[in-house]
Amino acid sequence: MLLTGLTVLITLLYPLAIWFGHGQVEPRYLAGLLLLAAASRLPALRLSGAARWSVGGALVLMACAVWSNLLLPLKLYPVLVNAALLGGFGYSLRTPMSAVERMARLRGEDFPPAAQRYMRGVTQVWCGFFVFNGAVALGTALWASEAVWSLYTGVISYALMGALFGIEFLVRMRFKRLQHA
């Protein structure tokens, strides 16, 4: 649990650390943040293919930043995270149990077919979010200032994610009410 909290904290603070470090610290040294992010995900490697891709990709980006001493590889990390999540969620759509259903089942519940269809639809919505979020993160990494990139990847994308969680929660409550009516 502590390691999960550390991973979340590193992920949340990463864009801000890159922004504050830009111009103050060489990118090759800022790459240590990617090493820290990758190291915090090591326990998840045996559980998730997305985690393996994310860690491997982070190490490649870190090596590119160290070798080139450019900031761009560091700014591509949020793109990598969205791609890994898209891969994991998208792959689950090809299996009998979607990613959202798998997470919901961690609570030990059993779901009727209508709920399973609903959760598959929610997984598809998250896939769309990861495509959009990754594309905007890529665009800001390539063509925007470090401040704009940090604002989007460190604040706006999390606000959008929170809004999607909130909207889905309201839709789920309505879905449950209609199913039990």
Q: DSSP readout, 95-146? A: SSS-HHHHHHHTTT----HHHHHHHHHHHHHHHHHHHHHHHHHHHHHHHS-H
Residues 6+ apart with CB under 8 A from 9: none
Q: Which two tokens stand for residue 94?
A: 């090809």
Query: pLDDT tens for residues 44-90?
Result: 666 677 777 888 898 999 999 999 999 999 999 999 999 999 999 99
End-to-end distance of the chain based on CA atoms, in angstroms? 38
Determine what percent of the chain is predicted with pLDDT higher than 90: 61
Residue 51 and residue 91 in contact, taking contact as beta carbons nearer than 8 Å = no
Residue 4 and residue 40 in contact, taking contact as beta carbons nearer than 8 Å = no
Q: How many residues in the chain? A: 181
Q: Which two tokens stand for residue 12?
A: 């949340």
* pTM for the predicted model, two decimal places: 0.89
Query: pLDDT tens for residues 163-181?
Result: 999 999 999 999 988 887 6
Rg (CA), the chain: 18
Question: Domain residue spans in the chain?
Answer: 2-179
CB atoms within 10 A of CB 64: 18
Q: Which two tokens stand for residue 37?
A: 């992010």
In the DSSP assignment, the letter for residue 41 is: T
Query: Which residue's structure tokens are 């915090």?
Result: 40
Axis-axis angle for helices 113-143, 77-92 (nearest 10): 160
